[in-house]
Amino acid sequence: MDLRFQQAPAAEWQANTVLLFNFKDEAVTESIPNLSETIPWITITPAIQDAKGEKNQVTVAYGHPSIPLPRAIIVGLGERKSFTLKVLRDAVKTAALKCRELKVDTCAIPVETIDTIDEENAVLIEEAVASALIALHTYDALKTTQKEPAHTPRWMGLLSSEENFPDELHAAARRGEAAAAGVNYTRDLVNAPANVITPAVLAEKAEELGKKYNFKRTILGRKEIEKAGMGAFMSVAAGSDAEPKFIVLEHAPKGTETDDPIVFVGKGVTFDTGGISLKPSLGMHEMKCDMGGAGAVFGLFEALGNSDIERRVIGITPCTDNMPSSTATHPGDVVTSLNGKTIEVINTDAEGRLILVDALTYAQNEFKPAALINLATLTGACVVALGAHAAAVFSTDDELSKTITDTGELVGDRYWPMPLWDSYFETLKSDVADMKNVGSREGGAIHAALFLKQFVEKDVRWAHLDIAGPAYNTKGGATGFGVRTLLEIVRKGV
């Protein structure tokens, strides 16, 4: 769906359907200023009585078909005093899906109608645009018998009666569009099954992104990964014939090439069977989502390519599947990681941490990160702790942790802080190596985080985001969780 900007006196606005939002216990005419000038018919249509403003209540009202804005979809925002950006995102999603259901050809939001909402108009526009585009995106690349693809309006217009369409709102809408492009890119990667998205295909995608947006890329294959000394990463790839790929993307606009970069590392397990420590078959198909961290890093780069952000950013994604076979790592094997530490692989299903530690070491060897942030669908224990509503954030840097949590809240990615106390290391101690790859079951998400911490230098600002819960829903599939947080962190700097 394209975006259009219409700047004209209200009487000349054109769209098939206008989207309006109103608060509870306020007359629509009160919630939406200048309604009598913009859409005069709506002030007298009886249907408006039904729009009570209850959260996500939808009312459709019709004017005469010959009128330039002949139909309105009004969505409730609930009580004015409890308004949040999430309320707006949900309401816009509801409106967008109603447009789909009614097969609306073109829709529009008069920007003046948000004037009474107590939040910057630019923020509201950015969120509204992002939410509509995310809501309408579907993954149907593999459906061949579907009669017609899910309907999407041709364009969404933003209408303004000001003399010039306000620059800051135009820029805000484009920011929302770039963010949605990133989120939807990630969703497509994560929704795609493991026979479609292999490590080699991810490497091709990185090439494509690099060529399109001028990102530097470094891609290591099996031989190079082995030669580099990434024994922990290799131990996961050992069971698979599919070639692992260690992918590095770099966004360094002119003048930023020598800056300390923000480095993101994403777990890219394209399928997690558990390896020799095989997972039960029920629900195993969902483990195609185990590259959700890498997917978010790729989505960030898609968003960066559509933005104008002058900051150096590195994205590192170790990609492999985790398979059982005669060449697979046995439980009990000891492997040597890139930084020389030895790991006793007690459970081959705790593979994410093995590939991540070599990527974290690489990040610190090759760059001087201003911040080092990794994302991973790392533990089932985290899903038990927080469910699907939030990711856990683990960090030794309270400021970084707060930046991530606050930024996430703003854009709709929720994070909750979890501890990294060294006392949890007790059960990670090994009799034969420097550490085991799993600790006791209780506190499993913390053990995984503490394992990663062993590979991060003390002076590095590091955070680990366990996104196993919110990255993928059994109903609804991939969410693109994390992309918007990363994008905003890059925009603001850390």
DSSP state of 151: P
- Give whichever of 159 and 468 is closer to ligand BES, judged by the CB atom: 468
Cβ atoms of residues 276 and 327 within 8 Å: no
Residue nearest to ligand BES (CB): 380
Cβ atoms of residues 200 and 242 within 8 Å: yes
- Give whichever of 419 and 493 is closer to ligand BES, judged by the CB atom: 419
**102 closest CA partner among 151, 154, 135, 48:** 151
- Give whichever of 363 and 383 is closer to ligand BES, judged by the CB atom: 383
Catalytic residue among 311, 353, 461, 484: 353
127 binds, among Zn ion, ligand BES, none (CB under 5 to 8 A by kind): none
Quick one: 399 exposed, middle or buried, by C-beta within 10 A (0-12, 13-18, 19+)?
Answer: exposed
Residue 112 makes contact with Zn ion by CB under 5 A: no
477 binds, among Zn ion, ligand BES, none (CB under 5 to 8 A by kind): none
Question: Cα separation of 487 and 494, whole Å?
Answer: 12
Q: How far is the CB of 22 from Zn ion (least distance, A)?
A: 45
- Give whichever of 382 and 487 is closer to ligand BES, judged by the CB atom: 382
383 binds, among ligand BES, Zn ion, none (CB under 5 to 8 A by kind): ligand BES
Half-sphere exposure of 28 (CA within 13 A, CB side): 30
Question: Among 31-39, 248-256, 264-272, 360-368, which window interacts with Zn ion (CB under 5 A)?
Answer: 264-272
381 binds, among ligand BES, Zn ion, none (CB under 5 to 8 A by kind): ligand BES
Q: How far is the CB of 377 from ligand BES (least distance, A)?
A: 4
Cβ atoms of residues 493 and 310 within 8 Å: no
- Give whichever of 320 and 395 is closer to ligand BES, judged by the CB atom: 320
Question: Cα separation of 203 and 298, whole Å?
Answer: 11
Q: Which residues bind ligand BES (CB under 6 A)?
A: 272, 290, 347, 349-352, 377-381, 383, 438, 444, 468
Question: Among 91-99, 261-269, 332-340, 466-474, which window interacts with Zn ion (CB under 5 A)?
Answer: 261-269
Beta strands in 195-339 (DSSP E): 216-220, 245-251, 262-266, 268-272, 313-322, 334-336
Within residues 144-173, the interface with Zn ion by CB under 5 A covers: none
380 binds, among ligand BES, Zn ion, none (CB under 5 to 8 A by kind): ligand BES
Residue 321 makes contact with Zn ion by CB under 5 A: no
Question: Among 21-29, 149-157, 272-280, 325-333, which window interacts with Zn ion (CB under 5 A)?
Answer: 272-280
Residue 272 makes contact with Zn ion by CB under 5 A: yes
Residue 290 makes contact with Zn ion by CB under 5 A: yes
Is the CA virtual torsion 201, 204, 208, 209 positive or negative? positive
Residue 352 makes contact with Zn ion by CB under 5 A: yes
438 binds, among ligand BES, Zn ion, none (CB under 5 to 8 A by kind): ligand BES
Cβ atoms of residues 360 and 265 within 8 Å: yes
**303 closest CA partner among 128, 486, 464, 465:** 486
Residue 466 makes contact with Zn ion by CB under 5 A: no
| Alpha-carbon separation of residue 482 from 70, 179, 390 (angstroms) | 38, 11, 10
253 binds, among Zn ion, ligand BES, none (CB under 5 to 8 A by kind): none
Q: In the block, which residue shows the tokens 């790929």? A: 245
- Give whichever of 351 and 358 is closer to Zn ion, judged by the CB atom: 351
| Alpha-carbon separation of residue 296 from 121, 299, 398, 403 (angstroms) | 28, 5, 23, 18
Q: How far is the CB of 287 from ligand BES (least distance, A)?
A: 6
Quick one: 284 exposed, middle or buried, by C-beta within 10 A (0-12, 13-18, 19+)?
Answer: middle
CA 174 to chain centre: 17
Q: How many residues can be counted in the chain?
A: 494
Q: In the block, which residue shows the tokens 């403003």? A: 53
- Annotated catalytic residue 279: yes
Query: Residue 409: which H helix or E strand, with range?
Result: helix 398-411
Catalytic residue among 52, 80, 279, 402: 279
Q: How do strand 106-110 and strand 2-7 relate by DSSP bridges? A: unpaired
- Give whichever of 250 and 272 is closer to Zn ion, judged by the CB atom: 272
- Annotated catalytic residue 227: no
- Give whichever of 57 and 273 is closer to ligand BES, judged by the CB atom: 273
Residue 349 makes contact with Zn ion by CB under 5 A: yes
Q: How far is the CB of 15 from ligand BES (least distance, A)?
A: 41
Q: In the block, which residue shows the tokens 């993307």? A: 249
Question: Among 11-19, 62-70, 350-358, 459-467, which window interacts with Zn ion (CB under 5 A)?
Answer: 350-358
Which residues in this chain contact Zn ion in the complex, by CB under 5 A? 269, 272, 290, 349, 351-352
Instruction: List, by residue number, the catalytic residues.
Output: 279, 353
